[in-house]
Amino acid sequence: MDTENIIIINGLKCSFSKNETILETALRNGIKIPSLCYLSNTVSTGKCKICLVEIEGEDELVLSCQTVSQHGMVVKTDTPRIAAARRARLEELISSGHHNCLVQEMDINSWTDFQRDAMAPDIHRTLCPAYGECRLQDLAIQYRARPVKAAKITAPPVEDVNPFIVRDFSRCILCGRCVKACNEVQVNRVINFNESESKVITKDDLPLKDSNCVFCGECVQVCPVGALVSKRDFEIHTKPNTTKKIRTTCSYCGVGCQIYIHVKDNQIVKVTGVDNFGPNRGSLCVKGRFGFDFVQHPARLTTPLIRKGKKLKEATWDEAIDYIANKLGYLKDKYGPDSIGVLTSARITNEENYLAQKFARAVIGTNNIDHCARL
């Protein structure tokens, strides 16, 4: 351990690298400091003000995402004073928008004016689509934060005039993660804060569909609340903890992004990027994130077909395999193995490609095997 670069966090000696913030040093050393706006590999906005910590010898609490680690610093991340400050800030954030999740299951007669207000718009009668995956909700529960004021919540209307992304400004906490994701991770440079920093907007505040947005959905993936939601989630309101997610590799281009397929009752409901692992480190494109409908499309082939005259007729697997085996065998005997060609595929797995070439070479006896890589 480099003795010149030591900081003590909660009694633990931690090494840090140059210009690293206390938050980053802590994370790297396995110490969790809660934050709503921190996004790795970007410059912190410091907007959520949750990551407060105490530094020995300093009167004020500081934001750990804005303070660079310095040799000899003694830091505490979880004192009663910090907890109180975090709770106050969380209450401010919950009160700033339509964050109705915590009252959802209460008797309506027990609602406060604030809660009634939060539940008033039609679209908010149902469960917030981020329920169960909301970082604000998690922290509000952890710190027992409650809405504090009954001020009227004014927010721009929900924008859903595009196929994929719903923007519900009434739930935006202005943390700026989406801005960072768009500008510093995907570098699409589509959204930013308006001048008064009261709304995240596209150029000229146009809807996404009329901006130069490419619908990569990185903003949806990083949104810590229910302000940016995939349209499918918004519409079907999948109950929390009823889906399972399976990690696999995207099937579009050659980049091989690592994805989670979220499944409920054998239906794909969502695709998200796998954070922290290459090659994509959580990022996806519009096709990978939103273009999964083909998998469970009604036009999928579900049974073998054999041509009878001009028409393809349904058949059993036995009939189809018999038919092909007989005909291939006949043609091979009559015209030789090189009269047969096999096209394997850039779409199927390695295991399947391996068997396809083995089939051509070992079963048919020809090297006439290729695929459409060139095309």
Partner 1 sequence: MAGLAAAFGSGAMTNPISDIEKADVILVIGSNTTENHPVLSTYVKRAVTKKGAKLIVADPRKIDLTQFATHWLRHTLGTDVALINGMMNVIIEENLYDKDYVESRTEGFKELKEMVKTYSPEHVEDITGVPAKQLVEAARLYAGAKAGSILYAMGITQHITGTDNVKSLANLAMLCGNIGIEGGGVNPLRGQNNVQGACDMGGLPNVYSGYQKVDDPAVRERMIKAWSLKDLPDRPGIPVTEMMELAYDGKMKAMYIIGENPMLSDPDLSHVKKSLKNLDLLVVQDIFLTETAQLADVVLPSASFAEKDGTFTNTERRVQRVRKAVSSPGDAKDDWKIICNLADKMGYPMKYGNPRDIFREISEVTPSYSGITYERIEHEGIYWPCPTKDHPGTPVLHKEQFSRGLGLFHAVEYLPPAELPDKKYPLFLTTGRVLYQYHTGTMTMKSDGLNQLAPECFVEISKKDAEVYHIEDNDMLKIISRRGKIKARAKISERAKQGMVFIPFHYVRAAANKLTNTALDPVAKIPEYKVCAIKIEKAA
Query: d(Cα 69, Cα 219) in Å, to the nearest integer?
Result: 29
Q: How far is the CB of 50 from partner 1 (least distance, A)?
A: 26
Q: Which helix (H) or strand (E) holds 93?
A: helix 80-95
The CA distances from residue 2 to 5, 11, 37, 75, in Å, are 6, 17, 30, 18
The CA distances from residue 19 to 4, 70, 359, in Å, are 14, 9, 58
Side-chain half-sphere CA neighbours of 346 within 13 A: 10
- Based on the number of CB atoms within 10 Å of its own CB, is 224 exposed (0-12), middle (13-18) or buried (19 or more)? buried
Q: How far is the CB of 287 from partner 1 (least distance, A)?
A: 6
Residue 161 is a binding residue for partner 1 (CB under 8 A): no
- The bridge status of strand 191-193 relative to strand 200-202 is antiparallel
Q: Nearer to partner 1 by C-beta: 149 or 330?
A: 330
Task: Identify residues 334-353 at the interface with partner 1 (CB under 8 A).
Answer: 335, 337-353
Q: How far is the CB of 200 from partner 1 (least distance, A)?
A: 20
Q: Nearer to partner 1 by C-beta: 32 or 311?
A: 311
Q: How far is the CB of 51 from partner 1 (least distance, A)?
A: 23
Query: d(Cα 354, Cα 348) in Å, to the nearest integer?
Result: 10
Q: Nearer to partner 1 by C-beta: 135 or 180?
A: 180
Query: d(Cα 68, Cα 73) in Å, to the nearest integer?
Result: 10
Site string for partner 1, 183-222 (x = CB under 8 A): -xxxx--------------------------xxx------
Residue 154 is a binding residue for partner 1 (CB under 8 A): no
Residue ranges in 206-297 assigned as alpha helix (H): 218-222, 231-236, 286-290
Q: How far is the CB of 199 from partner 1 (least distance, A)?
A: 24
Q: Nearer to partner 1 by C-beta: 47 or 289?
A: 289
Q: Nearer to partner 1 by C-beta: 153 or 363?
A: 363
Q: Nearer to partner 1 by C-beta: 13 or 358?
A: 358
Q: How far is the CB of 347 from partner 1 (least distance, A)?
A: 4
Sheet (strand 244-249) strand order: 244-249, 258-264, 267-273
Task: Identify residues 231-290 at the interface with partner 1 (CB under 8 A).
Answer: 231, 246-258, 261, 263, 266-268, 277-280, 283-288, 290
Query: d(Cα 101, Cα 237) in Å, to the nearest integer?
Result: 13
Q: How far is the CB of 263 from partner 1 (least distance, A)?
A: 5
| Total of residues contacting partner 1 (CB under 8 A) | 107
Q: Nearer to partner 1 by C-beta: 156 or 304?
A: 304
The CA distances from residue 357 to 321, 331, 342, in Å, are 18, 19, 8
Side-chain half-sphere CA neighbours of 56 within 13 A: 12
Q: Nearer to partner 1 by C-beta: 8 or 263?
A: 263
Residue 320 is a binding residue for partner 1 (CB under 8 A): yes
Task: Identify residues 353-372 at the interface with partner 1 (CB under 8 A).
Answer: 353-363, 365-372
Q: How far is the CB of 89 from partner 1 (least distance, A)?
A: 30
Q: How far is the CB of 260 from partner 1 (least distance, A)?
A: 9
Residue 306 is a binding residue for partner 1 (CB under 8 A): yes
Task: Identify residues 19-48 at the interface with partner 1 (CB under 8 A).
Answer: none
Residue 193 CB coordination number (10 Å): 15
Q: Nearer to partner 1 by C-beta: 226 or 288?
A: 288
Angle at which helices 135-142 and 80-95 cross, to 10°:
130
Query: d(Cα 305, Cα 303) in Å, to the nearest integer?
Result: 6
Site string for partner 1, 46-85 (x = CB under 8 A): ----------------------------------------
